[in-house]
Chains A and B, each alone.
Chain A
Amino acid sequence: MKIAVLSGGRTPERDVSLRSGHRVKVALDELGHDAWVVDPGECALVETLTETGPDLCYLALHGKEGEDGTVQRLLDLLGVPYTGTAAFDCEVAFDKVLAKDALSRAAVRTPEWVTIEGWALRDLGAGAALGTAAERVGLPCVVKPSRSGSALGVGFVEREADLAAAVMAALSFSGAVVIERKIVGTEIAVGLIGSPMDPLPCVEIVPKGGVFDYAARYTAGATDYYAPARLADEITAACIAVARDAADALGLRDVTRVDMIVDADGLPWVLEVNVSPGMTETSLLPMAGHAVGMSLANMCDRIVRSETSRRD
C-alpha cells in the first residue's frame, strides 16, 4: 500500500512527532508498504497529497491540528482514508473540557473538575468565582489547558494563592482551562490497539520528581517506567476495563492511549486519552508492546489493518 506518514506540523510537539513519524515509516517499509513522511509544517498538505496520491495517511502528528480533528476533517474532504479516530471524536477527545464531560456522562471515573473559559474571565468577571472553583475541586489541584498535549502548560497547585497564576499559565496554551482534583496514586497508561481494540500491558509511570510534567516526559532518567505495571491482577483488569470504557465513550479507534491514576483504594481515574500516542523509541505505547514481544512493525500493522477493515 502507498502510505503517507503525516508527522511534524507546527505544534510544540513537532520534534516528538517527527521522531514518531520516522520510526513508523521505517516500520511500514519493513512490512512491505511504500511509505514516506509528509510534514504539514514544511509543505502544502493538500497539494502534496494530491500529487502523490497515497492509499492511506498514517497520522503521527501530535498536539493541536493533528489530534483535534483539523487534519482529519481535511482528509475527509479530500477522500483520503487515515488511521485513528474520526474527526468529530478527535475534537471531543482532544479537548479536555469536552472529553471529561463525555467520560462523566458515560459514567467513566474521572477526577472532579471545573472549567474556566478565558473569555469568561475577561468579559464575565469569572475571576471572582476562582475561590469557588478551588473549593469545589479541593487542593491540591491540577490546572490544565483544555487543548494541549505532553503536559505543556500544566500546573500543580498546592495553595489557593497560586491558583490564579497557574490559570494564567495554562491559558497561554489554550482558550480554556480545566481545574482538576489531584488524585494521589500510581500513574498508569493503557494502550489499546486494533479492531476490535485489544489492550496492551499497563505501563506504570514513576516520575522521580513526583510529577509527570514535560521535563519528566522527555528527559532521560527523570522517570522510571514499569511494563507490565506492578499492580495486582484485579487492579490491572480494572484499569483495562476503564480504558475500554473511555475509548467506547469517546468513539476512539485503531489506536489510543488512556492515561489514568490508580488511587490508594485501587480505583483507576481517567485523566486523559490520546488519539495519536507517541511512537518514539522512548514512548509509552512501544514500551507496552515490547513487554509482550510486539514490535513497532507489529503495532503499525495492527493499526493499518484496523483502518482497512473499515473499508470492507
Chain B
Amino acid sequence: MAEFSIDRFVDLYAQRTSGMSASEVRALFAVASRPEVVSLAGGMPYVDAIPQEDVLDAVRQVLGTHGMASLQYGGGQGYAGLRDRLLDLMLAEGVAADAEDVVVTTGAQQALDLVGKIFVNPGDLIAVEAPAYVGALTAFSAYEPRYLQIDLDDDGMMVDQLEEALLRGERPKFVYTCPNFGNPAGVTLSYARREQLVSLCRDASIPIIEDNPYGMLRFEGDPLPCLRTLDPENVIYLGTVSKVFSPGVRVGWALAEQSVVQRLVLAKEAADLCGSSFTMMLTERYFAGDRWRRNLATLVDTYRTRRDTMLEAINEHFPDGAMWTVPAGGFYVWVTLPGWFDTQAMLAAAVERRVAYVPGTAFYPDGRGKDQMRLAFCYPTEERIREGIQRLGSLLEDEEQLYRSLHP
C-alpha cells in the first residue's frame, strides 16, 4: 500500500503558505486573458501611450552615461540618482522629502511586503480599508496578521470606525490605506477625513501606510494633500512609476523616517540584494526633463475618456439596484449589486460571454464582497469598454431573471 501526495514536500511548507491555494477564479482568469475576452479585470496601465522614442532615448543615455555599471549590482537603498529624481515626482504631489529617506523597491508591491516583514508578527492586528487592494492583503497575509477592517464610503475610509476600534482598546500595528482613487473602490479620502485620520494615528502612535499609485492620475478637481504632507513623521509613503510610466521597469519606493528606512533597506537586501540597476537608471533618465509630464497628460486624458465611456455604458446597461462609484481618477469603478448576486459564481458565465471582471471577495480578508465587482477602465479601448459593459449588463439582466425564477 502506498500513499501518494501531489507534492512530496507538502509536510515541510511553512504555515504562512497555507492560505495559498488553487481557485476556480484563477482558473477562469486563464481564459479571461484570451484576446476575444474584454477584460475589465486586470489593472494594466495603457503603456502604449508612452512614445517608444522617449524610452529608446533614455536607454541610449543610460548606456552612454553609465556604461557597464548599468549591468552591475548596486546599493540596497537604490540608485542615488533615481532617489533624487523621485523627489521631483513626490514634489509634484506636494510631498517634500530627502533622498536619504527613500528606499527604491521592486514596484510598490515589494514595499508592501517589506512593510509586512518589518512590522508584523503572527497574530498582530493591522488595520486595512475594506475593500482593500488585493495585492496588499496577499503581501501582508504571508506574515499572518489579524485584520481590523475599516469600511469605505464615497469619502474614503470611515475614520470614525477606526476611532471606535481604538476606543475599544484595539491596537493595530499600522493602518493601511490607498487614499487617492483607491484600488479597488476608486474613492478618495476627503480632506476632513485626512486630517482626522492623521491626527488620530499620531495621537495613538500608530503609523499610517499611505499607498499612492494613482495620485497623479487625477481627472478633475483639485488635488488633496497627501497624508505624508499632513504628517511627515507618522506616515510611511509608498510610491511607484507603474501607473505613470511603466510597470515593467518594476520601480517603486518607500519614503519613511530613517529608523524605518534602515530596516527596510536591510530587509530589501535580504530579499534581493538590490533593485535592477538598469531599470532604475532608465527610470531616472525617463523622468529627467519635461517629457514625462507631457506623456502623463496624455495618459490622464486617455483614462478620463475611458472612465467616462465606462460610466456612460454602465448607466445605460446595468439594471436597477446596481450602484457604482464615480472615480475622479485612477483605474477602477467599484460596483455593488443587489445582495443576492454572487459575482464569484457568475464569473464563469461572464467569461463564457467574453467579458471578465474581478469578483469583490478578492478585496476583503473575510470573504465579504460577494455582491460586488471591480471594473478596470485603464486598458481596453473605448469601443471594447462599451462592448464589455453591454455584455455584462445583459448577463446581469439574465441573472436577475434566473434569480426571480428560482424565488417565485
Contacts and interface: CB of A to CB of B under 8 A. Distances in A.
Interface of A: 10-15, 41, 118, 121-122, 125-128, 130, 150, 152-153, 164-165, 167-169, 171-173, 203, 214-215, 217-228, 230, 282, 287, 290-291
Interface stretch (B176-184, B241-249, B341-349): B341-349
B347 to A, nearest CB: 7
B408 interface: yes
User: How many B residues touch the partner, as a band?
Assistant: 35 or more
Given A153-B348, A221-B13, A287 B405 contact: no
A152 B7 CA distance: 22
Nearest to B345: A169
B52 interface: no
Contact of B345 (A41, A168, A227): A168
Interface stretch (B27-35, B54-62, B78-86, B320-328): B27-35
B5 interface: yes
B345 to A, nearest CB: 3
B1 to A, nearest CB: 6
B30 A14 contact: yes
A218 B398 CA distance: 31
Interface in B349-375: 349, 351
A125 B408 CA distance: 8
B405 A12 contact: no
A282 B6 contact: yes
Given A165-B342, A167-B406, 12 more contacts: A12-B28, A12-B351, A15-B27, A126-B405, A127-B404, A127-B407, A127-B408, A172-B347, A221-B5, A221-B13, A224-B5, A225-B5
B5 A169 contact: no
Contacts of B34: 10, 41
B22 A219 contact: yes
Contact of A228 (B1, B10, B23, B342): B1
A308 to B, nearest CB: 31
Contact of B27 (A127, A214, A230): A214
Contacts of B73: none
B2 interface: yes
Given A14-B31, A122-B402, A130-B406, A172 B5 contact: no
Nearest to B22: A218
B22 A168 contact: no
Contacts of B28: 12
B27 A13 contact: yes
29 contacts: A12-B348, A121-B405, A122-B401, A125-B405, A125-B408, A126-B405, A127-B404, A127-B408, A152-B24, A153-B345, A153-B348, A165-B345, A169-B345, A171-B349, A172-B349, A214-B23, A219-B6, A220-B6, A220-B7, A221-B5, A221-B10, A222-B21, A224-B3, A225-B3, A226-B2, A227-B4, A228-B2, A282-B6, A290-B4
